[in-house]
């Protein structure tokens, strides 16, 4: 998946279109992400020992990963990510608009001994 926890993303479709927020959780199996402040619902909760006040709890619900796009930390634009290999053999994500590296994905692989 091209989106990771703590990435800043922008919602591109739906009720919250244009809203930017930080990714809190990623569900790889369902291909959904939970974004801070996006797709909020009210859950009505009865009074209990755990919730002595009761009432309405506001919480974020998952959004499909196809409805969000990553915001580049360098240029601040919403753009697609690419993957490239660095000279040391490690992989990193980069912004396709400005070309700056966003984050490392995988460390360099160790050299295999040929025998």
Q: Could you read off the pLDDT of 30-72 as tens digits, one per residue?
A: 999 999 999 999 999 999 999 899 899 899 999 999 999 999 9
Residue 94 lies in a domain: yes
For the chain, how many structural domains are there in total? 2
Which range of residues forms the domain containing residue 16? 1-71
pLDDT, mean of residues 74-85:
90
Domain assignment of residue 7, yes or no:
yes
Q: Are both 59 and 32 inside the same structural domain? A: yes
**Cα distance between residue 92 and residue 62, in whole Å:** 26
Same domain, 51 and 11: yes
Confirm whether pTM is higher than 0.85.
no
The answer as to whether 115 is a domain residue is no
Both 18 and 51 in one domain: the answer is yes
Here the tokens at position 99 are 């070309």
**Two tokens, residue 109:** 């692989």
Higher pLDDT: 96 or 103? It is: 96
Tell me if 114 is assigned to some domain.
no
What was the pLDDT predicted at 59? 92
Shared domain check, 105 and 85: yes
In contact, 44 and 96? CB cutoff 8 Å: no
Co-location of 53 and 19 in the same domain:
yes
Tokens of 91: 């992989």
Phi (first) and psi of residue 34, to 5 degrees? -110, 125
Nearest to 28 by CA among 53, 61, 65: 65
- pLDDT-based confidence at 90, cuts 50/70/90? confident
């Amino acid at each position: 998946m091209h989106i990771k926890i703590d990435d800043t993303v922008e919602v591109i479709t739906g009720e919250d279109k244009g809203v930017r927020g930080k990714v809190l959780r990623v569900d790889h199996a369902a291909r959904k992400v939970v974004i801070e402040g996006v797709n909020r619902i009210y859950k009505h909760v009865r009074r209990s020992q755990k919730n002595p006040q009761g009432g309405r709890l506001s919480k974020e619900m998952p959004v499909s990963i196809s409805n969000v796009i990553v915001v580049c930390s360098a240029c601040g634009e919403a753009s697609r990510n690419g993957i490239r290999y660095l000279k040391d053999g490690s992989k990193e994500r980069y912004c396709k608009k400005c070309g700056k590296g966003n984050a490392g994905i995988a460390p360099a692989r160790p050299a295999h001994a040929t025998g």
